[in-house]
């Protein structure tokens, strides 16, 4: 019983420090009076609410852009489904490796100390791989990424323009936001290439 308890603690520590899922987790959304959102379902609900509002604005002021926005949203969603599948696959691989080590301990093939050493080796390998991928993605972000403050400012400017019913400004901002979304999709495709 004591060996299993110690093994479980070591396992939890290794998985906690592995950090394999941290860069692919759902973003926390906060600010402007909204409660912080961390669950995937909450993010999906906010995304749908945002898209519903955007669709209404697009249909009202720039209906010719609606098909382009829908195509971009569909492409964005498809890429994020692939990114989530990769995250889940990597998580399953780590869990399988840990389960194999656990099985060796339970069968007596490995001592607890040997298992701990293997888990630490696994942790270090995963950490090194994660850091290498993260560095590649950060390099891509520097050249192809989107400044979140610029996107936020454009969205805020759109809200102001809609309240003022400034049609020319709304159309301009919708075009800018579409270009930003398309740039983000390009970045996500590059990120997908790195992860594959």
Would you list the domain boundaries of the chain?
A: 45-99+124-195
Crossing angle for the helix pair 112-144 and 66-107, to the nearest 10 degrees: 160
* pLDDT of res. 120: 94
Q: What is the pLDDT of residue 40?
A: 59
Report pTM. Answer: 0.71
Tell me the pLDDT of the chain (196 aa) as tens digits. 444 434 443 444 444 334 433 333 333 333 444 444 456 568 888 999 999 999 999 999 999 999 999 999 999 999 999 999 999 999 999 999 999 999 999 999 999 999 999 999 999 999 999 999 999 999 999 888 888 999 999 999 999 999 999 999 999 999 999 999 999 999 999 999 999 8
Please tell me the predicted confidence (pLDDT) of residue 41: 65
Question: To which residue do tokens 């740039």 refer?
Answer: 183
Q: Determine whether 14 is exposed, middle or buried from the number of CB atoms within 10 Å of its CB (0-12, 13-18, 19+).
A: buried
Tell me the three state secondary structure of residue 174: helix
Unique residue bearing structure tokens 């110690």: 6
Q: How high is the pLDDT of residue 145?
A: 83
Judge whether 53 and 61 are in contact, CB under 8 Å: no
> Sign of the CA dihedral 174, 176, 180, 186?
positive
The two tokens of residue 80 are 């994020």
Please, which residues have CB within 8 angstroms of residue 127's CB and are 6 or more apart in sequence? Answer: 17, 18, 19
d(C-alpha 48, C-alpha 52), whole Å: 6
The confidence score (pLDDT) of residue 63 equals 97
């Amino acid at each position: 019983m004591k060996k299993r308890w110690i093994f479980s603690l070591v396992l939890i520590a290794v998985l906690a420090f592995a950090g394999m899922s941290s860069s692919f987790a759902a973003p926390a959304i906060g600010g402007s009076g909204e409660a912080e959102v961390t669950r995937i379902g909450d993010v999906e609900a906010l995304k749908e609410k945002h898209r519903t509002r955007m669709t209404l604005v697009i249909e009202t002021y720039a209906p010719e852009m609606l098909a382009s926005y829908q195509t971009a949203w569909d492409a964005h969603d498809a890429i994020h489904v692939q990114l989530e599948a990769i995250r889940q696959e990597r998580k399953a691989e780590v869990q399988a490796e840990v389960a194999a080590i656990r099985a060796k301990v339970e069968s007596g093939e490995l001592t607890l100390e040997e298992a701990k050493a293997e888990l630490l080796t696994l942790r270090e390998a995963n950490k090194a791989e994660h850091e290498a991928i993260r560095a590649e993605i950060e390099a891509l972000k520097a050249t192809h990424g989107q400044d979140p403050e610029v996107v936020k400012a454009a969205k805020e400017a759109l809200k102001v323009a809609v309240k003022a019913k400034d049609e020319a400004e709304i159309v301009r901002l919708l075009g800018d936001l579409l270009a930003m979304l398309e740039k983000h999709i390009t970045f996500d495709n590059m990120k997908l290439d790195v992860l594959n």
